[in-house]
Structure 1
């Protein structure tokens, strides 16, 4: 873990003496590039949800599980210099990227924090108080929080939601994008190798304490945390080989399937068959991929 540091544009702060476990998909350059591409493809859904939640200049925002910060940068631009974004992630490498890019992009209204979103109070509360004490933009407490593909990787999503709820001001809103019915993704025509890899992926998440169907549990967790759902929707996309969404799935599998082999969830022959089938699907003008369902929730703090 790196020592805490700060600048005019951002700060990176350790949450505890022991680093939280690293992001299950890794934090290397391959995953950084994949996440950048993924954000480009899903930024339309993110911006629409933020608009629905009433994001405004001057707002204080919490980006919970921000990763390398691609949504963070958009949020910081939307709230302007009068607002502020607190970006929290367990990965010091990702937070270093947020801090560096905040300076490069001249976004001084970002505070980047290394911390476990299942224990937000340890990191976020002191940072918010310190920021308010310096007379920074935004207020004490978040007007809007965002969590995209975060809860599905957590052992205790209930603690994350409770922590986010505590950080929101009364009337503040939480936007969530995450999975339910993850294993329904499939190619057309179906391939046994694809079914096996999807099942292995879901098992690898569950074995680490995650839940690829987490959105089935989220409404009850929101209720228990004092949040009321005002919007529930589904983004279920289909991709053909010539479309960029097909490339999104392809880059995901090129990155993650070798990790499944390394972790012992699939064999090298299974990997070889899967990529052979994926290449054949990509070369066929009549094939398509059904992508995993992404559910969208906006909830308000009562």
Structure 2
């Protein structure tokens, strides 16, 4: 049975944590704001619960959860990298969320200090060596009736209409490189299998796939950020040379192609899985 695990072992988070990568995370949060809201709404967060956001990055999901649980709730965001956490801390303080705690820790081994009502994570399982084991372990910290909810992407579904040569090339480079690194590019389609292999109930699935048009689409920033972050990996895996990619102005050239064609960008499908424990 397919348990949702990749055939290789992911080498860890490969998309970077420097300033360009943080800008990419912000673009991603803008593009997927509605899909993320629908997934969190399906999780049924209400005022009062304690929530964990694993791999919280710059805090978009953490703060969205904090808005739902209110001042009587508590949200702990956990991330391995310090730079995104600093951004998340500033944003939590600016929003006045006093019940938000942000911790730097290894997300593959971190455990909450006590029982919680919900464990969440967005676009984190694909970067972990054993998502099934992680879900099984964290689910043991969730109270009866609590929720385990993760959202993952299906990268093979990104497209443009009409097709754009640069995007077509990028899609090939990305999927080839992630495959060679052992990173599952389509984990969103296997979330149900991952949840079941971890001993969780069959999850409800909530999907979203944003559409944007023209050269100003925010999704081009996600592509540009991926190119910048993965240029070295493209070369190391023998996929394509940096000279052929031209990462320094790749996003600008892609935006120009999109503007000239009046292209519609079909951003990758995201799938959110929500399981309520008995």
When normalised by structure 2's length, the TM-score is 0.82
CA apart distance, 1:115: 2.0
> Once superposed, which parts of structure 1, at least 4 consecutive aligned residues long, lie more than 4 Å away?
272-275
Q: CA RMSD in A?
A: 2.5
- 1:256 is the counterpart of 2:246: no
Q: Tell me how far apart the structure 1 counterparts of residues 62 and 123 of structure 2 sit (CA, whole Å).
A: 14
Residues 277/64 of structure 1: CA separation in 2 closer, same or farther (3 Å cut): closer
- For 1:200, the equivalent position in structure 2 comes to 173
The 3 A distance-change label for structure 1 pair 23 and 93 is farther
Deviation at residue 258 of structure 1 after TM alignment: 3.1
Unaligned segments of structure 1, at least 5 residues:
1-20, 129-140
CA shift digits 1:208-233 (9 cap, x unpaired) = 44211113332222123232134223
Larger radius of gyration: 1
Whether the 8 Å CA contact 1:89–1:114 is kept in 2: the answer is yes
In structure 1, the residue matched to 2:91 is 101
Which residue of structure 2 lines up, in the alignment, with residue 138 of structure 1?
Answer: none
Q: When the two structures are aligned, how many residues end up with a matched partner?
A: 261
The answer on 1:219 being equivalent to 2:192 is: yes
Counterpart contact for 1:200–1:260, Cα < 8 Å: no
- Which structure carries more relative contact order (alpha carbon 8 Å, separation 6+)? 2
Equivalent-residue separation in structure 2 for 1:172 and 1:253 (angstroms)? 36
Distance 1:104 1:72 in 2: 14
CA 1:267–1:282: 2 relative to 1, 3 Å? farther
Aligned ranges 1:1-302 → 2 under 5 Å: 23-121=13-111, 124-125=112-113, 128=114, 141-180=115-154, 182-241=155-214, 247-263=217-233, 264=235, 265-272=239-246, 276=253, 278-285=255-262, 287-302=263-278
CA shift in 2, pair 1:288/1:33, >3 Å: same
**Is the 2:210–2:267 contact (alpha carbons within 8 Å) kept by the matching residues of 1?**
yes
> Which secondary structure does the structure 2 equivalent of 1:217 belong to?
helix
Q: 8 Å contact 2:162–2:261 — kept in the other structure?
A: no
> What are structure 2's unaligned runs of at least 5 residues?
1-10
Distance 2:224 2:152 in 1: 21
TM-superposed deviation, 1:277: 5.1
Q: TM-score, normalised by structure 1?
A: 0.76
